[in-house]
Chain A
Amino acid sequence: MTTATCPECDADVVIPADAMENELISCAECGAELEIISLNPVELDLAPEVEEDWGE
């Protein structure tokens, strides 16, 4: 099981086995939305804030 440190709260975040770079995941501890910046090595960053023109 791969984990990485949440940049918001320092908790361990479990990285799903099928994770992709630039995928969004949530920290189970603090709920922060995170982006997987790289997989090797695993690096997380806070996901960008939702902007007004985001949507479908």
Chain B
Amino acid sequence: MRIGILITHVRAEEKLLISAFQERGIEPDVMLDRDLNFDITAGPDQLAPSGFPWRAYDLIMERSVSTSRGLYALAILNSWGIPTINRYETASVCADKLRTSIALAQAQVPQPAVRVAFDPETTVQALNDLGYPAVFKPVTGSWGRLLARVNDQDTAESIIEHRQTLGDYNHHTYYIQKYIDKPGRDIRAFVIGDRTICAIYRTSPHWITNTARGGQASNCPVTPEIDDLCLRAAQAVGGGVLAIDLLEAPDGQLLVNEVNHTMEFRNSSAPTGVNIPAEVVTYALSQVRVTA
């Protein structure tokens, strides 16, 4: 069996995954996305950076921190019939918050009210329709970067002017969510295949609760409601190895906020007691058997 891990560089997660493979007697080939040099028409007989032909791989686990590199690599590898985690279709939906919202809406999975507009004046109208406070989010982005909570029209117009002037075309798509007054925390649940294996609360005095921004992780019991919602969300985006972010609305309803396709989990195994990298590897190996 030959497994490849595609990375931008080695972070704690990749180290844990490599160790988990090694504990199963598999030495994965670690490949850097900076070394990729695909001949699109030559197919999978061409050599990967490891020196082996791409065709030799039973599975490639995509762990690039660079979303664009990871997505294009998945698109190419899947076009050659090489199994990957996650699949391109899933990753491309998750990488785009707007496409994620569409997928959740199609599956009738509850999410915060969201509007999309492209023109500055229409965006102000969209905000008035949505109501303040609201949150601007770039359609592509992570770690809580470039999120902006706006409480009134003056602030909104400032954000829009800055994005129009300083941002590239990606920032001229205005994806706006209704701000959810959550109880100082959100929930991150980990879905692998058809199981919600564990979840954490991410608690922070700041409205952005990402652990990358200082949110503190603690165990969140996976209730039947969380399990059901997360599995529906995962299915909506195509399934795989996913981290589902949930918000608790003031009325108690759980809403799916985001779905992440190259999840970080370094802070989550300890509070949950679940060996997340081992679970990921077990799932990966099961997918090899499924696709072989």
Interface size on B, residues (CB 8 A): 24
Asked if A56 contacts B141 (CB within 8 A), the reply is no
Asked if B15 is at the interface (CB within 8 A of a chain A CB), the reply is yes
Asked if A56 contacts B11 (CB within 8 A), the reply is no
Asked if A54 contacts B66 (CB within 8 A), the reply is yes
Query: Main secondary structure on chain B at its contact with chain A?
Result: loop
Asked if A51 contacts B7 (CB within 8 A), the reply is no
Asked if A28 is at the interface (CB within 8 A of a chain B CB), the reply is no
Chain B residue at smallest Cβ distance from A54:
B65
Whether A23 contacts B15 in the complex (CB less than 8 A), given A54-B142, A56-B264, comes out as: yes
State the CA gap A39–B30 with chains docked (Å): 15
Asked if A47 is at the interface (CB within 8 A of a chain B CB), the reply is yes
Asked if A52 contacts B141 (CB within 8 A), the reply is yes
Asked if B66 contacts A22 (CB within 8 A), the reply is no
Asked if A22 contacts B65 (CB within 8 A), the reply is no
Q: State how many angstroms separate the Cβ of A19 from the closest Cβ of chain B.
A: 9
Asked if B68 contacts A53 (CB within 8 A), the reply is yes
Per-residue B-contact encoding for A42-56, CB less than 8 Å = 1, 0 else: 000001100111111
Q: State how many angstroms separate the Cβ of B111 from the closest Cβ of chain A.
A: 19
CB neighbours of B143 from chain A (8 A): 54-56
Which of A18, A51, A55, A56 gathers most chain B CB within 10 Å? Answer: A56
Asked if A20 contacts B142 (CB within 8 A), the reply is no
Per-residue A-contact encoding for B58-74, CB less than 8 Å = 1, 0 else: 00000001111000000
CB neighbours of B263 from chain A (8 A): 56
Q: State how many angstroms separate the Cβ of B25 from the closest Cβ of chain A.
A: 19
Q: State how many angstroms separate the Cβ of A24 from the closest Cβ of chain B.
A: 6
Asked if A24 contacts B67 (CB within 8 A), the reply is no
Asked if A24 contacts B10 (CB within 8 A), the reply is yes
Asked if B9 contacts A35 (CB within 8 A), the reply is yes
Chain A residue at smallest Cβ distance from B94:
A56
CB neighbours of B65 from chain A (8 A): 54-56
Interface residues of A in 1-42 (CB under 8 A from B): 18, 20-24, 35
State the CA gap A53–B95 with chains docked (Å): 9
State the CA gap A22–B29 with chains docked (Å): 13
Chain B residue at smallest Cβ distance from A18:
B15
**Chain B interface residues (CB < 8 Å from chain A):** 7-11, 15, 18, 30, 32, 65-68, 140-143, 145, 243, 260-264
Instruction: Given A20-B18, A47-B9, A56-B264, output 18 extra A-B contacts at Cβ < 8 Å.
Output: A21-B10, A22-B30, A23-B9, A23-B15, A24-B10, A35-B9, A48-B9, A51-B66, A54-B8, A54-B65, A55-B67, A55-B141, A55-B143, A55-B145, A56-B143, A56-B261, A56-B262, A56-B263
